[in-house]
A and B are shown apart, each in its own frame.
Chain A
Amino acid sequence: MRIMIVGVGKVGFTLAEHLTTEGHDVVVVDQSDAALRKCEDTLDVLCVSGNGAVAQTLQKGEIDHTDILIAATATDEINMLCCLIGKRLGAKYTIARIRDPQYNENLSLFEHELGIDLTINPERATAIEIGRLLRLPFASSVETFAHGLVEMVGFRAQIGDAFVGIPLKEVRNLNLPQVLYAAVERDGQALIPNGDFVIEPSDHVFVISTPETISAFFRVLGKNTKPVKRAMILGGGRVSYYLARRITSGGTSVSLIEINPDKARRLKEDLSNVNVIQGDGTSQELLEQEGLRDMDAFICLSDRDEENLMTGLFAIKQGVKKVVVKNNHISYADIMNDLGLDNIVSPRQITSSTILRYVRAVINSHGTKIDKLYRILGGKAEAMEFEARPGASYIGIPLHALKKRPNTLVGMIVRKRKPIVPFGDDTIEAGDRVVILACESGISDLNEVISK
């Protein structure tokens, strides 16, 4: 598949990196020679220098043979124009990053005319992700599969949790709601556990099941499953705007701290239900004054990673149960986890995985069989959703009798809209949707994971 990426900033580069390792022909377009040189030096891509909203530049990258065009420059207008021109010149699918909320609201009116097949708003996607985290305060990450029928929830194991310290095959005999222990992150490494695996305190555990079972699971463990009542947001950027709007409508009362008076005033105009506070959110005095201690959640969304990190740590020290931190440098996530910050969101990563998911879906219609793909554990592992095709060798055979690829796991089977947590005796039937977890990328078919 030939894919053209216009704009190789943070998101563009991440996308190019993943798409090349999956074996696609990737062309990157950028105006900055430095950005292109970085791509040329580290990735197996073709570099085209020039403005991606100009037909000649796109033609230099052979847009007429391109299957997917991804416009990910910093400017919305250029992205739209790029998709418009690209589609006219023969690109089959186009994806644009559009971040301005005003464009976003009326984009549905003319998306088709612009020739854009998918728009992605990194800030809104990030806000949705944070919203999901707030719904289960105990979780550090929540992913949904099979149209929301199945959830994968990550959380940190603690001393005293019933499943800690004994092999997983014995955990099943405990009287816990049946969830699947899908992945464990320990010392920055992703592990796919088997029956002999022993979960240790402070491991980052990912469990898969239906939303109801997962809630029950946490209740039995005695974790906090009450939704967030009061939340405080640091920084008045776009993510904060989307998030505040989202969670206030769900009944959470929100305080939003913004340092810039004009910006604070405008936010108040747009978000009348939100308590907008104008002040320096990094000041401990101000945070205490505004009642940080009483908050159920504290979300750090300022532009500076360092500020987010420091205030986040302060909030944990003040006893806030749920602290979410925005961080653009995902490579620091390990260090932040060590400091106790489990809930880290990166707009860059969320954007790239959303686009990757769409690209996979397009590719799926062209031969390979992945329906959806999620990058979990900071990109160290992947969860993939496949449909089991009739006639495959694994159909109807109990899982324990199948040969499995190492470091992979059958995470969930959804049969006729009913999720099944798979154990050794379960079988995969034709038409089932199967969620696979793997520590490596590049799997493109269910056959590569399980076989007779």
Chain B
Amino acid sequence: MNKRLVFRTLGTLLIVEALCMLPSLLIGLFHRDGDAVFMLESMAAALAVGLPCHLLIKPDPTRNMKPKDGYIIVSLAWVVLSLFGALPLYLSGLFSNPADAFFESVSGFTTTGSTVLTDFSQKMHGVMFWRSFTHWIGGMGVLVLTLALLPKLTGRTSWLVKAESPGPTLSKIVPKMGDSAKILYVIYGALTLMLFISLLFAGLSPYDAAIHAVGTAGTGGFSNLGESVGGFHSAAVDIIITVFMVLFGLNFGLYFRLITGGWRDCLKNEELRFFMSLFVVCTLVLAFMILPIYGTFGDALRYASFQTASIVSTTGFGTADFDRWPEAAKGLIFVLMFTGACVGSTAGGMKIQRVMLLFKAAKREVKKTFSPRSVQIVRLEGQTVDEGIIHQTMVFVVVYLLLIILGTFVVALDNTHTLIENMTAALTCVSNVGPGFGAVGPAGNFTSYSAFSKVVLSFLMLAGRLELFPILVLFTPSAWRR
């Protein structure tokens, strides 16, 4: 491990994190709840550690960044980021238990949105905004942000971005990584702003609009209301957030192509088509299933589309408690918790592209049994998919399921929850969705788990956000050797 490079990059990231705390500090000052001081303390702590690391450690120029270093930096970065991000939550007394604060912070950065917060009544505007703003930072990735701000951070940055961005292959939109990162953040910021303004028009207060705008943008799911988005009781807000949850589940590269005039290419995008069809079909099916509960088809459609968008984009906002829906509807939602949205979006889950690859590879195997000598290739977006990528996808899916199974077992050791609760808790964390079923459902909460289980679930969220392998690298002894 290239220690100097790792520590220096971590230092830089902490400085960026301290800067990211600035909006929350200003909101805290504006609302005069007395919580600005906690933001300030946390910023000071991040700078106190980050600045010396960034300024004093000079990486060895003769040693290039190796893939291993990239993976270690990314996974350590996310752990360190979550630790410092938990500071405001803990210092302010929002959470009395450090494990709770860490869980909440990880859930924020990984854009999961599973919460252990039970008391939504206290007035801490700054800290509560920070809790949601972590979604926005984590959605696009903090290293991507760092790269956009400081393109000359290190020489070979592709390993960093590779480890942080979602999807089986790295897709740059312009030749330079730093420029790509900048463009992505501009698109991200512009979409967030559009959502914010729409929510203002729908009648939300600027503070509520901001919280839900950043929560939707990162496909996170933290709300400042106990009842989540449902608490607004507004069809307009529901529809706006539904649309934007879908928009933030699309590949951001497509937006760039749209702007640069390639809208035909965008429509041809196989993954986009699959994702949209999945969304429409599931919404309709779900609407019919829940029609008896809501009476009118319009209402059923409103709740079905919101829940579908929320789950499939792995946001986790809720306007209805799907735990009380018919078993068939619950079954469909359970399936959607696996898929996730498009690659290159802020969503979690396995990603539509992997699901498509999986189906195509399976179809090929079936064809092969019919005629063993036929040559079969897998095509995606009009191009032949490299066998190595198919192999990687298979391994990814298997490890994904393995983590859920093992996670279910480990949190079951608490002996407090039902099997379905434990299983969906592990699933919702790995997929970065947010709610599960039962006690951890949309109306429920993760507080009832033990501190140990919360740390395990935090690990599952990090593994899910970083697409498994970077986090697993941390657990291999060879990562820590020189």
* Stretch touching chain B among A44-52, A156-164, A376-384: A44-52
B175 touches A27 (CB 8 A): yes
C-beta contact mask, B28-71 vs A, less than 8 Å → 1, else 0? 00000000000000000000000000000000000000010000
Q: Which of chain A's residues has its CB closest to B389's CB?
A: A33
Partner of B176, one of A25, A40, A42, A47: A25
CA distance A33 to B384 in the complex (A): 11
Q: How many Å lie between the Cα of A49 and that of B157 in the bound state? A: 21
Cβ 8 A contact of A41, one of B158, B172, B174, B383: B158
**Alpha-carbon distance A41/B69, docked complex (angstroms):** 13
Chain B residues within 8 Å of A27, by CB: 175
Please state if A40 and B158 are interface contacts (CB–CB under 8 Å). Answer: yes
Any chain A CB within 8 A of the CB of B254?
no
A21 to chain B, nearest CB (A): 9
- Given A40-B170, A42-B156, A25 contacting B175 (CB threshold 8 A): yes
| Chain A residues with CB under 8 A of B365 | none
State in angstroms the CA–CA spacing of A46 and B179 once bound together.
Answer: 12
Chain B residue at smallest Cβ distance from A27: B175
Partner of B175, one of A42, A45, A49: A45
| Complex interface: chain A residues within 8 A of B172 (CB) | 46-47
Which residue in chain A gives the minimum CB-CB distance to B70?
A: A41
Per-residue A-contact encoding for B154-190, CB less than 8 Å = 1, 0 else: 0011110000000000101011111100000000000
Task: Select A44's contact among B157, B383, B386, beta carbons within 8 Å.
Answer: B157
A2 at the interface (CB under 8 A from B): yes
Complex Cα gap A40–B67 (Å) = 12
Does the CB pair B174–A46 fall under 8 Å? yes
Contact A44 B170 (CB under 8 A): no
Complex Cα distance A268/B157, Å?
Answer: 54
Interface residues of A in 21-40 (CB under 8 A from B): 25-27, 33, 40
Q: B174 contacts which of A25, A33, A40, A49 (Cβ < 8 Å)?
A: A25
Chain A residues with Cβ under 8 A from B158's Cβ? 40-44
Residues from chain B with a CB closer than 8 A to the CB of A2 are: 175
Instruction: Tell me, rounded to whole Å, the shortest Cβ–Cβ distance linking B152 to chain A.
Output: 10
Question: Contact flags (1/0) for B292-333 with A, using CB distance below 8 Å?
Answer: 000000000000000000000000000000000000000000
Once the chains are docked, how many angstroms separate the CA of A55 from the CA of B23? Answer: 48
* A43–B172 CA distance with the chains assembled, in angstroms: 12
Report the minimal beta-carbon distance from B1 to chain A, rounded to whole angstroms.
Answer: 19
CB < 8 Å: which of A33, A41, A44 contacts B67?
A: A41
Give A216 to B435 CA distance when docked, in angstroms: 85
Known: A40-B170, A41-B67. A46 touches B159 (CB 8 A): no
| B159 contact set on A, CB distance < 8 A | 41
Complex Cα distance, B175 from A44, in Å, reads 7
Which residue of chain B has its CB nearest to the CB of A24? Answer: B175
Kindly supply a per-residue 1/0 record for chain B positions 319-354, scoring 1 wherever the CB is within 8 Å of any chain A CB and 0 otherwise: 000000000000000000000000000000000000
Whether the pair B170, A33 counts as a contact (CB closer than 8 A) is no
CA distance A49 to B389 in the complex (A): 15
Could you tell me the distance in whole angstroms from the C-beta of B379 to the nearest C-beta in chain A?
Answer: 13
Q: Are B174 and A44 in contact (CB under 8 A)?
A: no
Residues in A neighbouring B170, C-beta threshold 8 A: 40
In the complex, A45→B175 CA distance in Å? Answer: 5
Q: Which chain A residues lie closer than 8 Å to B179 at the CB level? A: 25
Q: Which residues of A contact B176 (CB under 8 A)?
A: 25, 44
| Residues in B neighbouring A40, C-beta threshold 8 A | 158, 170
From A25, A41, A45, A49, name the one whose CB has the most chain B CB atoms within 10 angstroms: A41
* Closest B residue, CB atoms, query A28: B175
Please give me the residue from chain A that is nearest to B152 by CB atom.
A23
Query: How far apart sit A26 and B177, CA to CA, in the bound complex (Å)?
Result: 11
Q: Which of B10-29 contact A (CB under 8 A)?
A: none
Cα-based distance from A46 to B177 in the complex (angstroms):
9
CA distance A25 to B151 in the complex (A): 13
| Residues of chain A contacted by B157 (CB below 8 angstroms) | 44
Chain B residues closer than 8 Å to A26, beta-carbon distance: 175
Closest to A25 in B: B175
Q: Which residue of A lies closest to B177 (CB)?
A: A44
Chain A residues contacting B156 (CB-CB under 8 Å) are: 41-44
In the docked arrangement, what's the CA distance between A25 and B179, Å? 10
Chain B residue, CB-CB nearest to A45 = B175
Q: Name B382-434 residues within 8 Å CB distance of A.
A: 383, 386
A20–chain B nearest beta-carbon distance, Å = 8
Q: Kindly provide the distance from the CB of B182 to the nearest chain A CB, expressed in whole angstroms.
A: 13
**A43 to B157, alpha carbons, bound, how many Å?**
9
Shortest A244–chain B CB gap in Å is: 42
Roughly how many angstroms separate A40 CA and B172 CA in the complex, as a whole number?
A: 10
Is A33 within 8 A of B386, CB to CB?
yes
- Indicate which residue in B67, B175, B383, B386 contacts A46 across the interface (CB closer than 8 Å): B175
Give the complex CA separation of A26 and B67 in angstroms. 22
Q: Which residues of B contact A49 (CB under 8 A)?
A: 383
A45 to B157, CA, bound (A): 11
Select from chain A the residue with minimum beta-carbon distance to B173: A46
Instruction: List which A397-437 residues lie within 8 A (CB) of chain B.
Output: none
How far does the alpha carbon of A130 sit from the alpha carbon of B172 in the complex, in Å?
A: 42
A33 surroundings in chain B (CB, below 8 A): 386
CB-CB under 8 A from B383, the residues of chain A are 49
Smallest Cβ distance from A41 to chain B, in angstroms? 6
B386: A residues at CB distance < 8 A: 33
Sort A-B residue pairs by CB-CB distance and give the 4 closest, nearest first: A25-B175, A46-B175, A44-B177, A46-B172
Taking A27-B175, A44-B177 as known contacts, 13 extra A-B pairs with beta carbons closer than 8 A to each other, sorted by chain A number, are A2-B175, A25-B174, A25-B179, A26-B175, A33-B386, A41-B67, A41-B159, A42-B158, A44-B156, A44-B175, A44-B176, A44-B178, A46-B175
Q: 12 interchain pairs (CB within 8 A)? A: A25-B175, A41-B158, A42-B156, A42-B158, A44-B157, A44-B158, A44-B176, A44-B178, A46-B172, A46-B174, A46-B175, A49-B383
Residues of B within 8 A of A (CB): 67, 156-159, 170, 172, 174-179, 383, 386
